[in-house]
Amino acid sequence: MELRQQALRVLSLPDPVAKAAAARTLHEAADGLPLDTQATLPEPAGLPGRPALPRLVPHTSLARRSPFTPEGRAALLHAVAHIELNAIDLALDAVWRFAGLPAPYYRDWLRVASEEALHFTLLREHLLSLGWDYGQFDAHDGLWSMTWRTRHDVVARMALVPRTLEARGLDATPPMQAKLAKAGDHCAVAILDIILRDEVGHVAVGNRWYRWLCERQGLDPVAHYAQLVREHQAPRLRPPFNRSAREQAGFTAEELAELERLP
């Protein structure tokens, strides 16, 4: 089967463990698969494939839990695992959904899906070692909601998912690591080191293709980003920002200054 069709098949899998394994396998096999960059694939119902649990609730319904209790720490790690599972979905969706882009675009996002799958697997294995499993806490649907809202516009997708919502992880991860280190969970801190390293690269992929698309369409990346934020009601990003990680991920000084001025 063709690579983008395979990405759609993996996206449709409901079991998160099977999906993570399949995403990694697909990436490993990608060089041997045909790639049709021009095909417009029909969208099946029920995307993405999801398990019966966790229960998805509004983010305002999720209780804050202290990482200094065993259950609170498990809930925090479960929330991160849920983000990583959603990140597999958004990367696979970027592969199958948007036609007419250069071949490296599809291979970039397939690699991202594979790395997100590794992150989910590491977090779930750590949760299991703590006596919990993925699905045992409620979760919210914010990341996929924006993925769905930008399904008709690849420029908006690149602007508002990897380089906005996912980039929040660059800011949030170091403070989370500090709390987990204080709680004595050095394994979780090490996993988050891997995630932060890889997420810099993932945000860089979003930045690279956002700028490429803007150049192709004659758009100013900074001005158009502000327009997309308003149009799609993207969440307000609040400082402090991890400027070092964001610079590594390709944000310019102008973009960072503009980010802090967004309403």
85 CB contacts (<8 Å, ≥6 apart)? 16, 19, 20, 116, 120, 134
Report the distance separating Cα 79 and Cα 73, nearest Å.
Answer: 10
Cα separation values, 191 from 107, 174, 186, Å: 25, 12, 9
Q: Tens digits of per-residue pLDDT, 116-135?
A: 999 999 999 999 999 999 99
Q: Tens digits of per-residue pLDDT, 177-192?
A: 999 999 999 999 999 9
Mean pLDDT of 153-173: 96
Q: Tens digits of per-residue pLDDT, 216-230?
A: 999 999 999 999 999
Q: Tens digits of per-residue pLDDT, 24-74?
A: 999 999 999 999 999 999 999 999 999 999 999 988 788 788 899 999 999
- Give the pLDDT confidence score for residue 15 in this predicted structure: 98
pTM of the entire predicted model: 0.96
DSSP 8-65: HHHHT---HHHHHHHHHHHHHHGGGS---SS--PPPPSSPSP--S-SPB--GGGSPP-
Beta strand spans in the chain (E): none
- Give the pLDDT confidence score for residue 3 in this predicted structure: 98
Structure tokens at 183: 């709680």
- Give the pLDDT confidence score for residue 263 in this predicted structure: 56
Report the distance separating Cα 263 and Cα 256, nearest Å.
Answer: 14
Please give the residue that has the higher pLDDT: either 258 or 242.
242
